[in-house]
Amino acid sequence: MRLFPIIAAVLVVAAIYGFVFERERLLSMLPQPDAAEAQAEPAPAAPASADEEPAEAGAEQAVRVVAVHSAARPIDRAVIVRGQTEADRQVDLRAETTGQIISDPLRKGAFVEEGQVLCKLDPGTRQSVLTETRARLAEARSRVPEAEARSPEAQARVEEAKARLTESQSRLSEAEINFNAASRLSEDGFASETRVAATQAAVRGAEAAVVSARAGLKAAEAGLQTVAAGIESAKAGVQSAQAAVAAAEREIDRLTIKAPFSGLLESDSAELGSLLQPGGLCATVIRLDPMMLVGFVPETQVSRIELGAQAQAELASGDRVEGVVVFISRAADPETRTFRVEVEVPNRELSLRDGQTAEISISAEGTTAHLLPLSALTLNDEGTLGVRTVDADRRVAFHAVTLLRDTDTGVWLSGLPEAADVIVIGQEYVTDGVLVEPSFQEIGQ
């Protein structure tokens, strides 16, 4: 075993211990310099007086920044909305009755004209039902003249009964006069009791005739009412038969399902031989010309949009289209608090499809703004968004701004003077009133 490494390690540890823990004792053991030598050392130079202080020590240092000359320019304050394309019209054609398809199907994507037959159902016995209802209508119509023919006869009977009643009442009056005369003559002895009895019997007979005439009048009037009721019944039968004919014709019309407007088939029409129940789908037809661009505008910007305003849109495919605003909702969506806006776009070549994503730019009232790099924006101590500018004295000033639009070349800002020198590099290291040394560059460098 070698002793030299061990001895060296012990000496190093002892040296470290003495230097750390016994430093003052070791320094006191070292020889001290003589007092004469200490006095011979040159005294430190006295500080210069205030008058001799260099002028540069009190001068303000200017901070170097990079700025741009910016001038306000007109800008169209368009409302930007993300939305999608939507077919102008779309309808699902469904069956209203039960029947088997007897027409050949049309394939999806086919163009159909308004009124073109899409599905035709087997009529079955519906034509026979229609023939039967028409026969019943003819029969009901024939009963009306027959019932009306009885009306003059019943009216004549009423008139005859009225005449008999009038005649009976006249005879009763005459018999009463004769009876009164006979009674007075009998009291004076000029008429016999037999004559009085005869005139009294004549009165009784006339009264009976009046009662009989009144009964005959009531019977004639009842007959007239019966005839009138028969006429009304015959007319009601005609109306019922007409309703049955209309229902049968409507049932036959439901067998043919036609396109309500010109457009494209979004799905195949029902297959030949398939059975359609009420509500069964025959086909789906959509109209893509014109195409609608649908977006939802926040309530803070909907007041800036007007009907008839010009609009442009860029689709996800890169295509650009133009149109006009045709609808602005008056009621907000209860969940998003946004308003539906529709833009009508021509689509004669049917190049636009339903459901494509689009970024819609709707023209609004214009204003002036500055186009600056996004990096020029900063925040002040209160957290207000703005930019810092350089004035004529090369002093920094903060201006609060409003972000109008974000583009590929920069952001459009309002809130600045017509012309301003805006700091684009170094604005985070200066505050209001600080002296700067700006170097200017062109916007876009």
Domains of the chain by range and CATH? 64-75+367-440 (2.40.420.20), 126-253 (1.10.287.620), 285-362 (2.40.30.170)
Does residue 187 carry a pLDDT above 80? Answer: no
Q: Which residue has the higher pLDDT, 211 or 23?
A: 211
Q: How far apart are CA 364 and CA 405, in angstroms?
A: 13
Contact between 370 and 73 under an 8 Å Cβ cutoff? The reply is yes
What are 399's two structure tokens? 């201006």
Please state the rounded mean pLDDT for residues 140-146: 87
The tokens 């159909």 sit on which residue? 112
What are 440's two structure tokens? 């200017």
Q: How far apart are CA 369 and CA 403, in angstroms?
A: 10
Q: Identify which of 365, 372, 366 has the alpha carbon closest to the alpha carbon of residue 419.
A: 372
pLDDT of residue 28: 64
pLDDT of residue 94: 93
Beta-strand pair 263-265/275-276: unpaired
Q: How far apart are CA 257 and CA 412, in angstroms?
A: 56
Q: How far apart are CA 198 and CA 123, in angstroms?
A: 85
Does residue 105 carry a pLDDT above 60? Answer: yes
Question: With bands split at pLDDT 50, 70 and 90, how would you rate the model's confidence at 40?
Answer: very low
User: What is the pTM assigned to this prediction?
Assistant: 0.52
Please state which of the ranges 119-123, 283-287, 300-304, 371-375 shows the lowest mean pLDDT: 300-304
pLDDT of residue 41: 46
Does residue 343 carry a pLDDT above 90? Answer: yes
Does residue 246 carry a pLDDT above 90? Answer: yes
pLDDT of residue 399: 93
Please state the rounded mean pLDDT for residues 395-422: 89
Please state the rounded mean pLDDT for residues 327-350: 92
What are 318's two structure tokens? 């890169």
Question: With bands split at pLDDT 50, 70 and 90, how would you rate the model's confidence at 18?
Answer: low
Q: Identify which of 358, 377, 360, 371 has the alpha carbon closest to the alpha carbon of residue 423.
A: 377
How many CB atoms neighbour CB 411 within 10 A? 19
Query: What pairs with residue 108 in β-bridges?
Result: none
Question: With bands split at pLDDT 50, 70 and 90, how would you rate the model's confidence at 351?
Answer: confident
Contact between 101 and 268 under an 8 Å Cβ cutoff? The reply is no
What are 236's two structure tokens? 């009601």
Please state the rounded mean pLDDT for residues 278-289: 92
Does residue 278 carry a pLDDT above 50? Answer: yes
The distance of Cα 210 from the centroid of its chain, to the nearest Å, equals: 81
Query: What pairs with residue 65 in β-bridges?
Result: 438
Please state the rounded mean pLDDT for residues 386-400: 93
The tokens 């590099």 sit on which residue? 425
User: 223 — phi, psi (to 5°)?
Assistant: -65, -40
